[in-house]
Amino acid sequence: MNIDMQYVTEKLVEILKTPSPTGNTKDAINFTKKEFDSLGIENYITNKGALVATIKGVIDEEHRTLSAHVDTLGAMVKEIKENGRLKLTQLGGYTWNSIEGEYCTIETSSDKKYSGTIITVKASSHVHGGEAKSLERNESTMEVRLDEKVKNKEDVEKLGIEVGDFVYFDPRTTVTESGFVKSRHLDDKAGIASILGIAKYLVDNNVTPKYTTNFFISNYEEVGHGASASIPEKTFEFIAIDMAAPGDGQTSDEFSVTICAKDSSGPYDYELKNKLVKIAKNNNINYKIDIYPFYGSDASAAMRAGWEFKHGLIGPGVDASHSHERTHKEAIENTIKLGIKYLID
């Protein structure tokens, strides 16, 4: 099976560099829509702002749906402080220390953009001594230092910055010669790239999936309700393609596709999990089976919303999830291969 990994990697880098924090994902949705359009795949944007693309299968009475989410971690302006710095509120779950020192962009409601850096309120060792090291990192001790000549709250307001404006973290995307992809927001833009790779393979090779296949690109997964609505009604199997999480006590790694048996929402469908494992084994696809204690997906969001279908979760291993993330192109390629074999099985 020849996967166009040059295309997949190029599109992954492009979408990683397209800001899309939860609640402000229009540019990334439009980017993905453009890719489906270029592949000649019918698609539409839902009222909630998600994207659904469809390839008709041999059987149209029942559908399979694969999902990935385009929304990422980020922040919003919680308060404009009297000293001209910005206090943040989180979008998604991450530790505050993981964004310390990060460059960021503030986008106003009038589409103006300003750069800044996320630092602590006692960042200078020469001024604060040991406190700079021991200070707890939390919402009250972290702030954005704007790259503008501002001395007070009024100066910031004159720039057009308001409470509720979105804050993007610099992804710092790098692809190494050894095949690693280092970037923020691989969760879940590696999943988006996997879906584009699957779709391109089907189109380029004139492969018709067994069942009509929907690609559901959700936009609110990081806050728990991404795939809670607008899933095509004929769906009988739903698989979320989302990052796997390597670490202590886990089987996942950065080179395999992981088939998730259980996360914090409970076990995934047993029969579907076994089917995916069988496909991987029969096709010599490098895979792992894992369980995640602090994890939820679009598939689990769909279950909570009351959808009735078999649900599964697969994805490439992403090290240091919700922090300084890294994966390898092999993990994405294995995810694509499993997705293709599943759809034509």
Active centre residues (catalytic) = 221
- Residue 133's alpha-carbon distances to 101, 119, 142, 186, 219, in angstroms, are 13, 12, 13, 29, 37
CA–CA separation, 315 and 299 (whole Å)? 13
CA–CA separation, 335 and 252 (whole Å)? 13
Q: Which of 274, 272, 267 is nearest to 295 (CA)?
A: 267
Amino acid in position 74? G
CA–CA separation, 302 and 327 (whole Å)? 27
Q: Which residue has the tokens 């106003």?
A: 108
CA–CA separation, 190 and 8 (whole Å)? 9
Residue pair 210/57 in contact (Cβ under 8 Å)? The answer is yes
State which H helix or E strand residue 216 sits in: strand 211-218
Q: Which residue has the tokens 């078999």?
A: 310
Which strands, in side-by-side order, build the sheet including 180-182? Answer: 174-175, 180-182, 326-328
CA–CA separation, 161 and 163 (whole Å)? 7
CA–CA separation, 189 and 13 (whole Å)? 9
Residue pair 258/315 in contact (Cβ under 8 Å)? The answer is yes
Residue pair 218/95 in contact (Cβ under 8 Å)? The answer is no
- Residue 164's alpha-carbon distances to 22, 79, 90, 338, in angstroms, are 13, 9, 11, 41
DSSP 119-166: EETT--HHHHTTHHHH---STTTEEEEESS---SHHHHHHTT--TT-E
